[in-house]
Structure 1
Amino acid sequence: MLSWALNRPGYVRARRILWREVRNADLPPDLDVRAWLAAELDALGAADAVVLLTSRDVTSHRSAAVPGAFCLATVGLSNAERVGHRVPRDPSRWGTINLALQLDAPLSDTGLLEALSIATQARTAAVMDLGLRLPGGIATGTGTDCIVVAAPEGGQDYAGLHTDTGEAIGAAVYAAVTAGGQDWMRDVAPRFTPPPA
């Protein structure tokens, strides 16, 4: 697996990815979140897992499967950002996009890195197509997004847009993030006040 997850970032071997739903009360400003999460996982016997933290109701997850790829995503856009711009946020309004992508292709470390870049690109395209306007332009993601890519170990070095693997990544991630984003736009956006320009 490859990710920038809080508890096991970078290249790791793992057999599971977990989501942990959190609220502001769970994460006070003075909390050592890594130590807290490690203790939570130890109590569950799940220290080996790669974990995604989200404030989005985990039952709102969306998934998409295509030949060669499966994506599971939770999508919250209350702290949406436009790349290259940053707006002040009330931490109580944070949301995130978390996605886990499982691939059939046996990838090398280089292949995992390219797969992560394609998943990020597909996430961004899906968010942009939702059309959430911010002071700096259309949202491209959130300030706390995280992506985990999992694949069997192997020698495939390429997973770009011209490959079957890259096409599958793009299709699965785009579909899952689009569906989750549409849910958020329908259910949460009417109560959401974007930050002032």
Structure 2
Amino acid sequence: MKLTLDHPWLELDLGTPQRVLSWSLTNPGFVTAEKILWREVRNADLPQDLDVLEWYRAELAARGDADAVAMLTSRTLDTYEVAEAEVEGIRAFCVATVGLSNAERIGHRLDRSGHDWGTINVALHLDLGLTEAALLETLSMVTQARTAAVIDAGLDLPDGRATGTGTDCIAVAAPVGPTPYAGLHTAQGEAAGRAVYEAVRRGADIWMRHVRRPGVI
């Protein structure tokens, strides 16, 4: 795999076509893709009357990446974090961009109008061949690890401690294969969770130290 930062893009080249599951804006659900992309945006890029989906698809097409799984963030891409974990020979590789400017606590909503949306975007690759059911379970492991890292970072909101942001996106990738499970009791679940937790926690800690302003949520 190859990771390339070329503003305003961050590209994770998976090397070969992989099965990817995400709720990506442009290519959601179960798809086959060779790249996962981040696009850094500013308010000027997204005027109120813009059809964001149409604009983003055109941006990807201009790169020749219409089939990529692609995410958006206003968090500067220079702050991306990478973490790897290996358990019983199974390797997990995670890339995360972490901004908490529109953080939320699950089950609540704050008025975030007028704010830049930093968001948390996570891509996780496992080198183990998985069934679609196992890829779904991997997605739950990544979500759980993301949430644990944000809670442990300690951003308190009026309704309680933040658990994520309102615009988080996660993409999980793996070769197609026979492995049917990826839960907490499995090596693949442990590797995925560890890599994601480490990447998101480091990114959240950096945001808390260098971006958050006292008294501002």
**TM (normalized to structure 2)?**
0.87
For 1:184, give the aligned amino acid.
Answer: W
RMSD, aligned CA: 1.0
Q: In structure 1, how many angstroms separate the alpha carbons of the residues matched to 2:203 and 2:48?
A: 28
1:191 shift after superposition: 6.0
Q: Which has the higher helix share?
A: 1
For 1:51, give the aligned amino acid.
Answer: A
1:135 aligns with one of 134, 144, 158: 158
1:113 is aligned to 136
1:43 is aligned to 62
Secondary structure at 2:100 match in 1: coil
Secondary structure at 2:128 match in 1: coil
1:70·1:172 contact (CA, 8 Å) conserved in 2?
A: yes
What are the Cα deviations for residues 160-192 of structure 1, in whole angstroms up to 9, with x where unaligned? 000000000110000000010111011101367
1:16 shift after superposition: 0.6
Distance 1:79 1:58, change over 3 A: same
Q: Which has the higher strand share?
A: 2
Give the gaps of 5 or more residues in structure 1: none
Distance 1:192 1:49, change over 3 A: farther
1:91 shift after superposition: 3.6
Matches within 5 A, 1:14-163: 14-67=33-86, 68-163=91-186
1:160·1:166 contact (CA, 8 Å) conserved in 2?
A: yes
Give the gaps of 5 or more residues in structure 2: 1-19
Q: In structure 2, how many angstroms separate the alpha carbons of the residues matched to 1:116 and 1:173?
A: 11
1:24·1:92 contact (CA, 8 Å) conserved in 2?
A: no
Secondary structure at 2:144 match in 1: helix
1:78·1:192 contact (CA, 8 Å) conserved in 2?
A: no
1:55·1:96 contact (CA, 8 Å) conserved in 2?
A: yes
1:14·1:48 contact (CA, 8 Å) conserved in 2?
A: yes
Distance 1:192 1:108, change over 3 A: farther
What are the Cα deviations for residues 31-77 of structure 1, in whole angstroms up to 9, with x where unaligned? 11111011111111111111110100001000100111000000000
Equivalenced residues, count: 194
For 1:178, give the aligned amino acid.
Answer: R
Identity rate, percent: 61
What are the Cα deviations for residues 61-113 of structure 1, in whole angstroms up to 9, with x where unaligned? 00100111000000000100000011111243322000100101101110100
Q: In structure 2, how many angstroms separate the alpha carbons of the residues matched to 1:91 and 1:54?
A: 15
Does 1:7 find its partner at 2:26? yes
1:64·1:72 contact (CA, 8 Å) conserved in 2?
A: yes
Q: In structure 2, how many angstroms separate the alpha carbons of the residues matched to 1:109 and 1:41?
A: 26
Quick one: higher RCO (CA 8 Å, sep 6+), 1 or 2? Answer: 1
Q: In structure 1, how many angstroms separate the alpha carbons of the residues matched to 2:36 and 2:128?
A: 18
